[in-house]
Structure 1
Amino acid sequence: MLHKCEGIVIRTNAYGENNKIVTIYSKELGKVGVMARGANKPSSRFTAVSQLFSHATFVFQRSTGLGSLQQGEIMDSMRSIREDIFLTAYASFIVELMDRTTDEGKRNPALYELLYQVLHYINDGFDAEILTFIFEMKMCDVIGITPELNRCASCGATEGSFAFSIKEGGFLCNRCFHKDPYLIKVSPATLRLLRTFYYYDLNRIGNLSLKEETRKELRFIIDEYYEAYSGIMLKSKRFLKQIGSLKVNLPEKKGKPD
């Protein structure tokens, strides 16, 4: 049976000398795997559409199991991402998280739209780290580890001062601080941003700019929360941490490009 879909390449694996197994997260079919025969040959018609992050339309034949790619038409090669080591690192983490947390063949148009928007905004020059924070917060629902961000995770209070508790799985009010000796006390602005990113409407994206201290607090909470609850260890996350020290020594990019 012949299938056609619009999708983004989230993983590639070499198969033999010249072939590639390409994993696509698609709008119409969810996650699908296809064999791109000869894709590693320089003259192959599948070279562009089989690259990681490529946004394209794909036509493939499949009855059961792995499909066989028949045609592909590139829509956006995400060139800016691939030409920048830092953007590549963030995008690699995003697609690996998507790959590890989704099952093949389960259609989810909203999830496809999230992936599409985040990668395109990164490619267009918006702040890649902030977009990654947004993506991670929104993926909590997909993984089934949504933190409590609207009230105290212990008593339900909505007023008072708050901190973040990994143990309790979300915000903890000052009356319940004693319940977690490892409570993470950060600025109120950081806590507001955690909630904002979870609910963020990417269709209304504007100027994205954060102080380095706020970035550190967000990074720490999200990393610790994922480590405690997701059970997912990603190679791309380790790479992201390794290049983090390089990134902070470079001039900060604010908002979208001039």
Structure 2
Amino acid sequence: MALARHVTDFHGILLFRRDYAERDYLVKFFTQEFGKKMFLVRGAKKKGFKMTADILPFTVGSYVGDIADDGLSYIRTARETRQFQAIGTDIFKNAYATYVMSLVDIAFPDSQQLPDWYHKVHRALDLIDEGLNPAIVTNIIEIQLMPAFGVAPQLLGCAVCGRNDLPFDYSESYGGLLCQRHWAQDPRRLHLNQRTIYYLRQFSVLDLDRLHTIKVKPATEAALRQLMDEIYASQIGVHPRSKRFLDQMQSWAPRLAQNPTTDN
């Protein structure tokens, strides 16, 4: 039985590409119209291939494709594309952006229409590319992605009584925030400071289109990273390879700051 196909325009963010056969690439796009799709690009490794620049990592744009309901689709031509230039040339931005795209690829099944998430990922990559703190942009995506992984912590109020006017802490056992009156019910609560709780709650509902600048103290940034690592490790169980590289890269930062490269 032949697969259903149709030729149409689509908008896509390139998630990754990999070698396929001697001359071809498999390229995975997060499309605005069809969700995540894998495309076979024939002859992409040949010298003079006309779409070489259109299928580079960290590319976004509009294309014409032969779209299959299931299985491999095909790209016929590129209409208008661009690269996230700073992400492509900055190892730190690159690592955060790759991790964001890895999480999105894991969180959703292929061929599920996700126009809101397409826009959100596009905006997140734009913000990282433009120079906003990539760690914070990544935190926002991580927090807002949690329901897609089946983890939807109670962040509006206390998971026990619903109050929202007392200091909070985060309880994995209760699946969200506990107000001060109920801290004793979970001796293993995470003992987060209130500034970290504030950003956790704000980031869970933040519209990235409204985000243009943000400053978070290094201690709070580190606490948010630790919190996300704890939730993703213990409750979600997702460990993309890109996150391991990101962790390694973060360990380089203090050494790079202490031993800056100088030109002679």
- Using structure 1 for the length normalisation, give the TM-score: 0.91
Q: Does 1:247 align with 2:253?
A: yes
Q: How has the CA–CA distance of structure 1 residues 181 and 249 changed in structure 2, closer, same or farther, with 3 Å as cutoff?
A: same
- Partner deviation per Cα, 1:105-161 (whole Å, 9 max, x = no partner): 111111100010000111111111110011111112322312111111233332322
Counterpart of 2:74 (choices 62, 68, 78) is: 68
CA–CA distance in structure 1, aligned partners of residues 47 and 229 of structure 2: 39
Equivalent pair of 1:41/1:47 in contact (CA under 8 Å)? no
TM-superposed CA distance for 1:24, in Å, is 0.6
1:90 match: 96
The structure with more radius of gyration? 2
Q: Does 1:58 align with 2:63?
A: yes
Paired AA for residue 121 in structure 2: L
CA–CA distance in structure 2, aligned partners of residues 62 and 6 of structure 1: 12
CA–CA distance in structure 2, aligned partners of residues 133 and 219 of structure 1: 7
TM-superposed CA distance for 1:32, in Å, is 1.1
TM-superposed CA distance for 1:35, in Å, is 0.5
2:156 match: 150
Unaligned runs of 5+ in 2: 1-5, 258-264
- Partner deviation per Cα, 1:147-196 (whole Å, 9 max, x = no partner): 11111123333232211112222111222222322211122111010011
Q: Which moved more, 1:46-55 or 1:110-119?
A: 46-55
Unaligned runs of 5+ in 1: 252-258
Q: Does 1:217 align with 2:227?
A: no
Give the aligned length: 251
CA–CA distance in structure 1, aligned partners of residues 161 and 36 of structure 2: 40
Q: How has the CA–CA distance of structure 1 residues 154 and 248 changed in structure 2, closer, same or farther, with 3 Å as cutoff?
A: farther
Counterpart of 1:19 (choices 10, 21, 24) is: 24
Paired AA for residue 101 in structure 1: A
Q: SS of 1:5's equivalent?
A: strand
Q: Does 1:179 align with 2:194?
A: no
TM-superposed CA distance for 1:208, in Å, is 1.5
Aligned CA-pair RMSD: 1.6
2:121 match: 115
CA–CA distance in structure 2, aligned partners of residues 41 and 108 of structure 1: 33
- Partner deviation per Cα, 1:185-210 (whole Å, 9 max, x = no partner): 12211101001111112111132211
Q: Which moved more, 1:99-108 or 1:152-161?
A: 152-161
Paired AA for residue 7 in structure 1: G
Q: How has the CA–CA distance of structure 1 residues 42 and 77 changed in structure 2, closer, same or farther, with 3 Å as cutoff?
A: farther
1:130 match: 136
Identity of aligned residues (%): 30
1:33 match: 38
- Using structure 2 for the length normalisation, give the TM-score: 0.89
Equivalent pair of 1:53/1:78 in contact (CA under 8 Å)? yes
Q: Which runs of 4+ in 1 moved over 6 A?
A: none
Q: Does 1:140 align with 2:146?
A: yes
